[in-house]
Structure 1
């Protein structure tokens, strides 16, 4: 593999040098880090990562290659990759290609040979900010000028960029239950988890109304994950408010959870640096049990707004910072979580939430 020098410049002027990986070029986005040790392909193809440059904290990336079935969408969704050790060769019996080729084919720019421990500590302390990676332009002044034009993630609506444009159906026509899924940037494994539990799922665009979703005669409504700032989606918020008033069972995940909260008068906040990884501890306040979970979010529902609400109950908290991890609506079969129970990649501690949703539909 030909060596190309590369540089990553952060919004606060911090610079790290390394070598180019993936496509040779330039990319921008909000910098974030993921603490997962495995599952990089599923992470990179998660639509919730749109417009984000991702640092992987595990030292070796690319060593087990890629597999054509281990994807959560139709392409890589991160805007750039930062890693310590990157392997363009791979060793895995079922591997189908190298991560290098996978990134090149999807036009993704990255940088390796970076001290990711130092970079993650810097981001953790300073908070989320924009960054630029380039393996074609190493002039810092030039990169600063390009970076200055990149909009902040706060106030950015991105869901419409990854949502389906036309509805489609997944699952058996003779399925016991029918679910209308509002696609805000859905991961494939969410649909798969519903189908595995005897549901036929019709996936609708993010702009779909209650009337659109009810045309499928659903037993319940799923609100998916997705990218961007939930506060920048007032029309979707109002549509979800009508869905709640329909009294159909509803289950929201990640962005779907945040929009459900907004529809009930709660507020959301931009986090200092977000939660991203497959090892985040959650406590279920209803059962008292702990869960190790997969997470990917930079916004969170305000805990103060939950505590002030008369119709929303806190059901799950994040044990690292006690932030809101789950809610349910009093007197309704409506609940949501901030984390990813479909967990691809990640542990399966929270799959019971899909069973709970199916039970609500019964």
Structure 2
């Protein structure tokens, strides 16, 4: 009987990526599109090796599928993985409530004997602030990433003439982040969230990427310490949770947002060029730009609420983004960020 924070999911066709995105750990996802399950499920679209979200809430569950890549229905997929779901729900009404009041705590149960008062008490007792969810989703041991989807040919134009070794800290990394790095010709080593910085530096990487992940960045001081020990020694790229941890490691503060950012339609402006990209975002916390030290530049702004969406610190060879450049819902708007990271590593060799 899980009780979780309820978040709106705005990607109608990419529900499988949402189901397997570790950033949704400890949360219910409410799909705003009324029809879910039309394309079924296939192993190629998974963003991790398992589902981490607490449950799925939808309006209409498709009883038939229409996609040549489909291997099973959404219902079959959820049952096999013991993920709770509920359909025939007025998701639009709940979405309106979330838009007014922000993320709320919900309870899903099959026990019809429970009274409303008991369910309310369960919801009140569940907390997400200060909870370390990263330890639930990180890998158990280091491994070399082997791309099974052929990034080498799919994005061959991105390939650099040089090969760079990138160590990725797995705070809940999505497979597509690793695929994008591979598409630029990077050799990738993935390490657990608690892996010592000294061991990573001993690998002599060309760069370190701090990945996305779930929960409150203030709940993982060990990760902040790791970032502090690595920043300035090699080029660094932070994405989503990695961005927030970098903000804290530099002396800045993070805060919980009332609404959070979820979905694939967030406009972000690059303050350096004026370019506006459509980005995919999935986070409940943000970096307070006013708390950052001198020399750290806010490069990107979310145009919906003017929150900080990107940082650079040239002195420390550092860049970070609050959104997911690998998702590129524009459809390739944000993918250039990986090219910037490669250039950062290339210039560090000079």
Q: Distance in 1 between matches of 2:93 and 2:32?
A: 10
Which residue, out of 317, 342, 345, partners 1:361? 345
Residue aligning to 1:11: none
Which residue, out of 128, 131, 141, partners 2:117? 141
Which residue, out of 104, 107, 112, partners 2:82? 107
| 1:346 CA drift (Å) | 7.1
Residue aligning to 1:275: 261
Contact 1:175 1:200 survives alignment (8 Å): no
| TM-score normalised by the chain length of structure 1 | 0.88
Residue aligning to 2:281: 295
| 1:348 CA drift (Å) | 2.2
| 1:220 CA drift (Å) | 0.4
Question: In structure 2, do the counterparts of structure 1 residues 344 and 65 end up closer, same or farther at CA, with 3 Å as the change threshold?
Answer: farther
| 1:86 CA drift (Å) | 1.2
Q: Residues 118-137 of structure 1 correspond to what in structure 2 (within 5 A)?
A: 118-137=93-112
Which residue, out of 193, 203, 207, partners 2:180? 193
Gaps of 5+ in 2: 148-160
Q: SS where residue 29 of structure 1 aligns?
A: strand
Aligned Cα RMSD in Å?
Answer: 1.7
Q: Residues 310-321 of structure 1 correspond to what in structure 2 (within 5 A)?
A: 310-321=294-305
Q: Residues 15-26 of structure 1 correspond to what in structure 2 (within 5 A)?
A: 26=1
Q: Distance in 2 between matches of 1:345 and 1:135?
A: 36
Q: SS where residue 218 of structure 1 aligns?
A: coil
Gaps of 5+ in 1: 1-25
Residue aligning to 1:329: 313
Contact 1:30 1:131 survives alignment (8 Å): yes
Contact 2:213 2:241 survives alignment (8 Å): yes
Contact 2:40 2:73 survives alignment (8 Å): yes
Residue aligning to 2:335: 351
| 1:66 CA drift (Å) | 0.5
Q: SS where residue 245 of structure 1 aligns?
A: coil
Residue aligning to 2:51: 76
Q: SS where residue 120 of structure 2 aligns?
A: helix
Contact 1:128 1:272 survives alignment (8 Å): yes
Contact 2:5 2:27 survives alignment (8 Å): yes
| TM-score normalised by the chain length of structure 2 | 0.91
Q: SS where residue 69 of structure 1 aligns?
A: helix
Q: SS where residue 120 of structure 1 aligns?
A: helix
| 1:125 CA drift (Å) | 1.0
Can you list the C-alpha shifts for 1:178-198, whole angstroms capped at 9, x where unaligned? 001111110011111111111
Higher share of residues assigned helix: 2
| 1:113 CA drift (Å) | 1.2
Q: SS where residue 270 of structure 1 aligns?
A: strand
Q: Distance in 2 between matches of 1:38 and 1:346?
A: 15
Q: SS where residue 239 of structure 1 aligns?
A: helix
Q: SS where residue 331 of structure 1 aligns?
A: helix
Which residue, out of 81, 84, 91, partners 1:116? 91
Q: Distance in 1 between matches of 2:87 and 2:77?
A: 16
Which residue, out of 218, 239, 248, partners 1:262? 248
Q: Distance in 2 between matches of 1:138 and 1:73?
A: 36
Q: SS where residue 281 of structure 1 aligns?
A: strand
Number of aligned residue pairs: give it: 332
Can you list the C-alpha shifts for 1:254-292, whole angstroms capped at 9, x where unaligned? 000000000001100101121110111100111110000
Which residue, out of 142, 149, 163, partners 1:176? 163
| 1:168 CA drift (Å) | 0.1
Q: Residues 84-99 of structure 1 correspond to what in structure 2 (within 5 A)?
A: 84-99=59-74
Q: Distance in 1 between matches of 2:329 and 2:117?
A: 38
Residue aligning to 1:250: 236
Q: Residues 218-257 of structure 1 correspond to what in structure 2 (within 5 A)?
A: 218-246=205-233, 248-257=234-243
Residue aligning to 1:4: none
Q: Distance in 2 between matches of 1:347 and 1:37?
A: 15
Which residue, out of 197, 206, 228, partners 2:193? 206
Question: In structure 2, do the counterparts of structure 1 residues 344 and 313 end up closer, same or farther at CA, with 3 Å as the change threshold?
Answer: closer
